[in-house]
Structure 1
Amino acid sequence: MTPATPPARLLAHSHRPRPRHARLLAGLVAAALAVLLVPAAAGPAAAATVEPGRWYVLVNRASGKALDVAGSATTEGAAIVQRTRDDRTSQQWRFVAAGDGWYRLQARHSGRALDITGASRADGARAVQWTDRSAAHQQVRLADSAGGYVRLVVRHSGKALDVLNASLADGAPVVQWTDRGQTNQQWQLVPLGASTDTSAPTPPGGLRTTGLTCTAVTLSWTASTDNVGVAAYDIYHDGQQMTSVPGTATSAVLTLSPGVTWGMYVNARDAAGNVSQASPTLELTVPPCQTDTAAPTTPTGVTASADGTSATVRWTASTDDVGVTGYEVLRGGVVVGTVPGSATSFVDAGLAAGTAYSYAVRARDQAGNRSPASAAVTVTTGATCTGAGVICSVRQVATDRDLPWGLVELPDGSVLYGRRDAGRVVRLDPATGTTTVVAGTFPGMAGTDGEGGLMGLAVAPDFATDPWLYVMHTTATDNRVVRVRYVDGALSGTPQVLVQGIPRNKYHNGGRLRFGPDGMLYVATGDGQNPQWAQDTANLAGKVLRIHPDGRVPADNPFGNAVWSYGHRNPQGLAFDSRGRLWQQEFGNSLMDETNLVVRGGNYGWPQCEGTSGSCSDAGLVAPKLTMSTAAASCSGIAVVGDSLWIACLRGTRLYRATITADGSLTGVQSLLQGTYGRLRTVEPSADGGLWVTTSTRGDKDSVANNSDERILKITLGR
C-alpha cells in the first residue's frame, strides 16, 4: 500500500522570502544551536559518505534540530518532523544501500523507511515513514554542501528534503522542495557509537490462523518481549520470507498460493537488528480456489530417442480448464520422472546399454487430476555408456530413517555420513550396503525444529596418516565446527571446537565443509535469518569461512578473522574445480538460487541482491555465474568431477550438470534425474570418478529423528 496523497491544503505552503534581518537572526540562532546541540567530539560524517549499518542523527543546518518521527510513532504514515535533539531512537537513522549510490533512510525505533507521501513530485509533499519497499520515493542520495553538510535528494522527484518555511520550531514538517541548496535543506550527519543492545527478543509464540481462503489468511501470534523493544516481526514459510510488520502488530494478512502446504513461523527483530529465534512452526494447508474434477487432456505426439544409455522423451503440451501443473513420465508403466507443466521433455539417464524401453506420459493439474497415459513409444539404448558427465547407472546402496546430510568417502573406500536429526555418524560399506552407527556423540548438539542439527562432514587430504573427522553442527545457542579422531571405525576422544559463535536459527544455518587445495578448511554459513549480518564482516553469519585444520585463522584472510567472502544468504554447497577455484551454491528467497565462483574478500550482495534481482550494479559486488528459479531449484550440495559441476536440488527434485570452462563460466546446463528420486540434498564425488547422492524427501523441516525414508545413491559416470 502506498500512502494516500494528503489534502491540498497541506501542500499549499510556499517558501516566501523573509526580510534580510530575519534571515540573519535565523542564521545566528542556527549557529548557536548547532554548537550547543552537536557534541564536538562526534563531528559530522565525511561529506556524501556513510558507514553501512551505522546509526546517525541528522541535524538541520538552519535550525539545529534533528530529523524525527513525530511522537516516536511506529505506524505507517507517521509524519517526519524536526525536533530538539535528544538522540531518542526515533531520531536515529541508518542508510541502507539501494544501489547506484542511492539509500533508504530507516528509522531505528520502527524499522520503517522515510517516504514521500503519495509518491508525489510536488513541492511541499510531506515526508512520512512507511514500510520499507525500496520504492524510488523511499530513496535518497547524498549531495555535498559546504562545511561538511549534505543535501538529501529524493530519487523519484529530484527534490531535496527541507524543513518547511525554514522553521525553527519543534514539530515543523519535513517536506520535499526544489533543491536550491538553502540551509534548511542541508543536514549534518552525526554518527552514533556502536549499539550497546546485543539482546535478541524472545521468540514469538501461539501461532494461529483465521479467515483462511485459497489466496489469503490472517496469521496471529503472541507478542515477543525485548529489553529495549520489538521493532518488527518477519513472517516466513519454509525458510522464505513473506513479509514484515511493525513491532506493535501481532497479526498479518498473508497472500497464499492455492493448494500448497506451508510451514509458517515468525521471528521478532529489535531496533538494533537483533533477531529472535523462530517461533514454533504452524503447518498450513491452503485449499484450492475451486472444485476441479476435470483432468487435463492426454499428451500427444510422444516420441523417444536414445543417446548412449540416456533416453529423451518429448511430447505436445496438454490443456486443462484451470492449468496443467506437471507431467509424469512412465517407463514400463511406472513413474520415473516428473517435470513442471511448462516442460515438454524429459531425460531418462543411467539406463542399461542395448535395452528396449517403453515410455508414456500423463498430465496433472493443481487439484491432482491426472489425464490418461499417452500412447506408449519404444526406444532402444546404445551399446555403451561413454562421454564425460554422462550418467551411466544409478544404484541404491542404502536407506535410512533419518536424514543423511553430510557425507564423505574415506581412503579405504568406506563412507561416513551424518544423520542430521539423530546426531549420529554412520559408516557405510558400499560393497554390501551395511551401515554401522559410529560410537561417540557431539556435546551440546541440538536441532532447530527446521534445518539445523548434524550437518557438514569433511576429512583432510592427509586423513590416512592424521585421521581427523571435521563436523559442523548446531547447538542450543550457535552453529560450530569441531573435529574428532576417527580410529578403528569409531570416534575417539572429546571433539575439539574449532569455530563457535556462528549464529543459528530455524533455517539459514548453511553447514557445508570442504578442504581446499591450499590445505585450508572452508565453511559455508547461513545468515541466521538476519540478512544484515551477511554484510557485517565481523559477524560469522552469511559467509564462507576459511581456517587452518586446527582452527587458526590464516594470516592472508582478508578481514583479519575467519571470513573469506560475505553477502551470502544460505549457502549449502562448496566444491573446488581442477584449477583450484571455489564454487558455491546458495539458496535464494523466492526468486533466484545462485551458483557463485568465490573469490577472496568477495561481496555476493545479499540482502541487496538475490541472484541478479535487486540493486546489483554497485561497484564491488560479485555477480553469480548461474541463476535458477527457486521453484525449479532450491539446491543444496554441489560436487565437481572432471570439468562437470553437479548440483543437487530439493524443490527442483533433480541434478543439474554444467560444464566448467577455463575462464570460469558454466555452459551446457542440463537437468537430470528430474523427479526420479525426489528431493536431493547432498552430492559428493567418489574416488572412482562417480557421485554419491542423498535424498531429503521427508522430515527435512523439523528436528524429529527417524521420521524420514531416505536413500543413499551411487552414480556411475561415463569417461
Structure 2
Amino acid sequence: MRRVLLCGVLLVASCGWAGADDGAQERLPGAPTGVTAEAGSATSVHVMWNTVASDPAVAGYEVYRGRTKVRDVPASAHMVDVTGLRPSTAYVFTVRARDAEGRLGPGSREVRTTTPATVAADRSPPTRPGRTTGRAVGSRAVQLSWARSADDRAVLSYDVYQGSVKIHSVGGGQTATVVTGLRPGTRYAFTVRARDAADNVSPAGATVRLTTAPGTDDGRDTAPGDFRASTHRADGAYHLDLSWVPPRVDGVVTEYGIELDGRPATSLVWGGTAPRGRASYSFYVGRDPGVDHRVRVRARLPDGTWGAFSTERTVTTGPAGR
C-alpha cells in the first residue's frame, strides 16, 4: 500500500545450484569481488562490493552474516547497511549474486569486522574533515583525500556524499578512497562527513568539484526505458498515469524527477524498497478536457547526478486521452 506526502516531494513506502550440465554451470553469476565491511556504528556495518557482469544479467545480490542471509539487494546496488547488530561483536560477511531464475553463484571471499562498544550519553559529533582534495582517475572514478577529524571518543567511519546522496563509506582509520561507477565527462561535487560509534555525524568538509574524463558513454543508458503515459478521469478531474522501467546503473535508484510541459512538476521518492521492475505513478493535471500535456521522467542516479530524460510523451485529457 502506498502512502503519499505531497509537500513538493512525494514519498512512497512500499537497496549451491547444480545445473543439468557443465554448460549451465558456466552461466551462473560469478563471485562478487572487492567486498569490504566497515562498522558504521555500534550496531551497524556497511558492506560494499563490485557489481558482477554476467550473461544472463544478475537479478540481485544476497548478503550473508555468517551462514544467515540478512539482506536481499537489487541488481543495481553494490552497497548496503546491515543494521540491528550487537556492539563489541565480531562478524563475518559474504555476498552472492543471483540470476533471474533464482540460481545463486558462488560466495565472495569472507570479510570480517568488529562493531565497537556502545558509548553512553555521547552527543558530541566529530569535527569536520579538513583539507579535502581530489582528482579524476580516468572517465569513471575519482580519488578523494582529507585530513582526520577529531572526536571525544573516536571516529568510526567517513561517509562520502555526492550532493545529498551517500555513495561510499570507509573506516575511521582511512583518509583517502577511490569512488568508482561514475559517468564520463560529468562534473561532480563531493563532500566527506565523519561518524562516531554513537552515530553522531560531523558537518561536511569542504566541497570538492571534479570532472571525469570524456568517454564513449553519452548518458542515454541512464534514461528510464519503455516510458508510457495516459490519462484517466476521476471525481471530476483528470490524472496523468505514468509507467517506466528503471535504468540499469551501478546502485539503487530511489528518486525520479517528472517534467510536465517543459517544467519540473514533482519529485517521486521511494522511502522503502524501490521497484525492481516497472515503476508507476499517477498525479492530478486539472479539470479541463481536451488539454495536451507533454511529459517525461528522469532518475537521480546513485552517484547523485540526474540521468538522461526518457522519451517525451504527449497525452490529451478527455475521452481521447483516457
Question: Could you tell me the TM-score, scaled by structure 2's length?
Answer: 0.43
Ranked by relative contact order (alpha carbons within 8 Å, sequence separation 6 or more), the top structure is 2
